[in-house]
Structure 1
């Protein structure tokens, strides 16, 4: 009779969720198609909800789940952060902030606080820099060190200790299906940043902080019926932001917006107005009412 082998106890790592396992690579074409499909379905779901069509909303939910849900969208987004597909967008932020951060590395000053909204990894350039005290949040946390939280439901700061020097909103705003929701998200970012006069004692910091790092797919600004750079700048100015840096690539647009004491919020209204005609345009829009 064969002797049964004693079963070894599983290690703690064996109990970790599948999201922590090595991710399978998918092609660039498949990545783009998956992200695009998610955006279309989320928009249709939002429209169905607004119309009170519960049956259609449930049907679209089933389609989203069939694609793998939010997890599959995040998986595709993580694939896009690979070096051979454009890489980590926070490297652009670090390059822009390097002049003022380099003077602080040997300093005993308090670390700058960064809130990363829609965080997918704890190993990006900002995390590895050692320059920030980082809080990371995402709707569906992919790993330890990222709090599962909706930014729109995050409690507003009660005092300065709960505010931040930098907010990162990289490839998040475009995933909000409702134009009004996009506007509310941008409006909310202002409340989480310190006031500009906090940095008056340091001219180096005053030039860059407090700031919002905003990254969008390039077509959202360059090929939308309802959005162009002029309108985006008008929206950000109305919130009290001033552009300090920008970069455009074939796929993405990057912006660094500083909360500017000389540009207080003016509460303008922005509607979904067609700026460019054409059947090949997309419908990205930001609405303030």
Structure 2
């Protein structure tokens, strides 16, 4: 019997960090070009690694360095999320939490949150601690991690190496995965990441209700039970609208197989946002790579669940 392969880390295939000073503030066009070029080179590098072509990897690394490396990419991403660019994806999450009554500015809600522990949120791939969700520290306690921390309040950590919660107190009510899944080197690793995320979320209120009505009433805030625990997933729109191997129907089917159901979704000209509540356990259904459509200029983004 062959040993089961250990899921590769997010850092596998990640280009080297360039130890240079952060570039001066870029224009909107420059930041878009930096991000686009970085993603293209990163995909080429992952393909070269898979083939074992060390010479090509070295050449791509040089091209990545000329493009400014990971620091330039993160600087461009941070600018894209700045208030002046209107790109902070957590604004969408906050609006949905407000809509569901999880976040409310009324004094009674704040007092209630002071009596009870704040909801816990894990932000994977965090770029800043000053985004919209950070304005609610009494309601939402945010833990931020990234492969290359850009601040003292962002822990340098590979999510695939983060220890699993040992108790409900260490689990999270919300996990934010904004523009991270598309950066994972290959389709199978994306599936592994989504499977692992479910293990970091608290048990769903629906399970409490089915298995122990008394525990449900005792432990579940009346308004939060409708959408939490949840995954906030953000992807570039072309990942689901212009891929040969993935569309929104298949993405949501994968998430349902992993125990999630869709509660909110929103598209912008560049991004797709999803809030997915974890309502049960994975049914262990596998999803392979299968072409579902084809056309010129389409991409090959997909998610494989093994």
For the superposition of Structure 1 and Structure 2, which TM-score range results when normalised by the shorter chain? 0.7 to 0.9
**How far did 1:18 drift?**
5.3
**How far did 1:269 drift?**
1.6
**How far did 1:101 drift?**
2.4
The aligned counterpart of 2:204 is 196
Matched, 1:273 2:290: yes
Q: 1:125 aligns with which of 111, 132, 139?
A: 132
Computed over aligned residues only, the root mean square deviation of the Cα atoms, in angstroms, reads 1.8
The aligned counterpart of 1:90 is 90
How many Å separate the matches in 2 of 1:125 and 1:86?
11
Q: 1:217 aligns with which of 236, 240, 244?
A: 236
The aligned counterpart of 2:193 is 185
How many Å separate the matches in 1 of 2:162 and 2:58?
27
How many Å separate the matches in 2 of 1:247 and 1:200?
30
The aligned counterpart of 1:57 is 57
Aligned residues: 268
How many Å separate the matches in 1 of 2:27 and 2:175?
31
The aligned counterpart of 1:8 is none
Q: Which has the larger radius of gyration?
A: 1
The aligned counterpart of 2:123 is 116
**How far did 1:120 drift?**
0.5
How many Å separate the matches in 2 of 1:176 and 1:64?
17
How many Å separate the matches in 1 of 2:160 and 2:109?
32
Compare 212-221 and 63-72 and name the one that shifted more.
Answer: 63-72
Runs of 5+ consecutive residues of structure 1 not aligned to the other structure: 1-16
TM-score normalised by the chain length of structure 2? 0.83
**How far did 1:104 drift?**
3.5
**How far did 1:177 drift?**
2.4
Compare 216-225 and 51-60 and name the one that shifted more.
Answer: 51-60
TM-score normalised by the chain length of structure 1? 0.88
The aligned counterpart of 1:104 is 109
> In the alignment, is the contact (CA less than 8 A) between 1:39 and 1:177 conserved in 2?
no
**How far did 1:277 drift?**
0.9
Deviations 1:157-177 (Å, cap 9, x if unpaired)?
Answer: 122222111000011111112
